[in-house]
Structure 1
Amino acid sequence: MVAPAFINPARAASRGAPEFNSTVWAIAFRGNTVYAGGSFTSVKSHGRTYVRKRLVAFDARTGAVLPWNPVAKGTVRALAVAGGSLYAGGDFTEINGLRRSKLARFDSSGKLSRWAPRVSGGVTSLAIGQGRVYAAGQFSSVDGARRGNIVAFRHASGALDRGFRTAADTRVRALAVTRTRLYLGGDFHKVNGTVARRLAAVSTGDGRLIKAFRPVAPATVMDLAVSPSGLSTATGGPGGRAVGYTPAGRVRWTHLFDGDVHTLAVLGRTTYVGGHFDRACKSTSTISQRGCKAGYASRVKLAALDDRGRLTGWNPRANGAIGVQALSADPAHRWVAAGGAFTAIGGSSRERFALFGG
């Protein structure tokens, strides 16, 4: 087992990461820069407060807020980096006073690009792979073309990929991409007209449903992450669960929590878990188990699981009723970032963002 990368909360606080005045919903890394998106309108760093309306960039090593200062009119819920581009998705209608309907792209200098697709509803997830930018959420059309809650664009040109024609019957909350598969998670019950409850895989090229992947998700899938061993999901429902699946959709492991699991990030063979739970089952179970016979261990809003779904000793202890809404991992630096509505980690002030690792 690869040991999880973490530092204790005191060292996390001393890193000087910025603090936010409202929820952080999305995090992305590029080199030493961290991008964050959310509903916040100001950010505090090293005793100074900066106006940053729902988007910010800062130095991961020092916590210094960078000059980049776009203004989003509406919440940013998803971020993704591809080469020199940063993509943002959410509920916003304008960026820097220019119309940007739920999607926007910034170039390597941080300048807002001319890319401006028109999306009929909100975007909650982004994924990038195989020369495409995939966006999902709850919408029925993009640029006037009918699209059922998921769409693909060509990364190089920004053009709508008209050959990718996946459609889900209701909200897609999460995406994860591999070389040949795009995994979808959410509230849906059908994909491309075929029964696929809450979790499915489609071809990265044309969007056709991959029928060899036949999982049975126990509840709404809120997030997805790909590890060397397969797919992991974050779910709500009765209690919360993190579930590991094989490429065929068979359950590898299930870990129970006493509240919804909202978000996942994979670093090496460790899966980091965030949500609004306070306890995690001491044992890994099967998907049919409703209770936790081994009893629970305290894991407040954050936990980590090994490659077999077993609870590790990582226990930074976030707070708040809502807790952690976003996790992101940077393999190059072995960093894990957490965002959400919490205000403390391990009893130390940590307003809605924390960075672990290094």
Structure 2
Amino acid sequence: MLAMLFVLPAAPASADGAPPLSTTPERTVGFDGLVYTSVHVGDTVYLGGNFTHAFADGQTVKRKRLAAVDARTGKLLPWAPALDGTVLAVTANGKNLYVTGEFTKVNEQPRARLAAVDLSTGAVGSLKPALNGFGHAVEVSGGRLYVGGRFTAVNGRAARSLAAIRLADGTVDTGFTAGTDGKVLALAAAGNRLYVGGAFKKLAGADGTARLGALKLADGKVDTTFKPGTPYPTFGLTATKDRVFAALAGAGGRVAAYRPDGGLAWTSVTDGDVQAITQLDGTIYAGGHFTTACTQPSQIATSWCKKAMQRKQSKMAAWDAATGKLLGWDPRSNGKWGVLTMKADMRQGLTVGGDFTAFGTQDQKRFARFLICRYGCPTR
């Protein structure tokens, strides 16, 4: 580890001249339960969790585990499908929102932990693959819906916590046989790879793939050129063609950046699990239940952070994507479990979900929006 201490001002995050992000959330809807997952689709943010009501314009409104918010205004939209169990992951493609989690019904129709919901109407789609355990991650690429979690079968066919569904007809891709020996918690498609993260020891039986590995999108086989040897469980992923950024647990927690061959570009230590991660114009944003972060990165996967290099960083932080330098962005979130989902959009900024109820002195229950300050950020 590096021994030099740099004291950074508490300024908005900005890497390499990118527009900074506000540290003060915009007013928006709140929820009565945890927000676990989110996705941007145009000017709408779709949210999933274990909530049953939203707080909007002084009213309490029913929203059973799914909701939609106008990303421009923060207003709750009328879209309101109803599920009977927790939603843990969502993604979107075409006209559908793909949803997985712990539910067994959508709009009173049977759907065993995986479903498609119309983005405009909220109507449940015809997709009916049945998971015999929970789903925790979904990703769409190349006409297939990939789902990961903790299950042993899909539609009665053996599947070890990972499966592929053909979107054209909703059938299980029986040629996709990759599986894991533990939970899959994160999926991210980039370039010609599907990155798979979680709490497993091996991906498709391959060495060097513990907790994070890659599959070739072309054939679903393990890409043996990517062997990061990640030492801690992976909770979240975001990827480009030349970098994979991971939200990790471990002794405390950390953010890690990997090269295409799996080599560690940098890692930054926190004092609690990092559970969500996203990127915006050269900056990595991550959240979890940490309260401090190390001011300098390391190139050692299991490094520690000296006390003199720790900075108070409540549940969220930002890093320069190229160097791993901790930036001066701290919205001061509260909460026990902290931040569980983060999604970035070049027009709308950053949306965040979790169990928080305030940022600094501003109340904001379990969902927040942070805008890009194109002409300078206001101070608190």
Structure 1 and Structure 2 fold alike (TM over 0.5): yes
Q: How does 1:209-224 map to 2 (within 5 A)?
A: 209-224=222-237
Does the alignment pair 1:245 with 2:258?
yes
- Displacement of 1:108: 4.2
CA RMSD of aligned residues (A): 1.4
Match of 1:320 among 325, 329, 335: 335
Does the alignment pair 1:258 with 2:249?
no
Does the alignment pair 1:357 with 2:368?
no
**Percent of matched pairs sharing the same residue:** 38
Corresponding residue for 1:146?
Answer: 158
With the length of structure 2 as denominator, give the TM-score of the two structures: 0.90
Does the alignment pair 1:301 with 2:315?
yes
Asked whether the 8 Å contact 1:283–1:294 carries over to 2, the reply is no
Corresponding residue for 2:99?
Answer: 88
Corresponding residue for 2:12?
Answer: none
Cα distance in 2 for partners of 1:123, 1:239 equals 25
Structure 1 alignment gaps of length 5 or more: none
1:246-297 Cα shifts (integer Å, max 9, x gaps): 0000000000111111110111221101000011101111224223365111
Match of 1:181 among 193, 197, 200: 193
Corresponding residue for 2:3?
Answer: none
Q: How does 1:28-39 map to 2 (within 5 A)?
A: 28-39=39-50
Asked whether the 8 Å contact 1:39–1:74 carries over to 2, the reply is yes
Corresponding residue for 2:288?
Answer: 275
- Aligned length, in residue pairs: 353
Q: How does 1:1-358 map to 2 (within 5 A)?
A: 1-3=16-18, 5-9=20-24, 12-13=25-26, 16-110=27-121, 111-195=123-207, 196-227=209-240, 229-286=242-299, 287-292=301-306, 294-307=308-321, 308-331=323-346, 333-358=347-372
Asked whether the 8 Å contact 1:4–1:314 carries over to 2, the reply is no
1:220-244 Cα shifts (integer Å, max 9, x gaps): 1111111464001111111111000
Cα distance in 1 for partners of 2:157, 2:101 equals 19
Higher relative contact order (CA 8 A, sep 6+): 2
Cα distance in 2 for partners of 1:132, 1:95 equals 21
Other structure's SS at 2:314 match: coil
Higher strand proportion (structure 1 or 2) = 1
- Displacement of 1:79: 0.8
The 10-residue stretch of structure 1 (309-318 or 242-251) with the greater mean CA deviation from structure 2: 309-318
Asked whether the 8 Å contact 1:302–1:315 carries over to 2, the reply is yes
With the length of structure 1 as denominator, give the TM-score of the two structures: 0.95
Asked whether the 8 Å contact 1:133–1:155 carries over to 2, the reply is yes
Task: Check 1:143–1:259 CA distance in 2 against 1; reply closer, same or farther (3 A cut).
Answer: same
Asked whether the 8 Å contact 2:79–2:120 carries over to 1, the reply is no
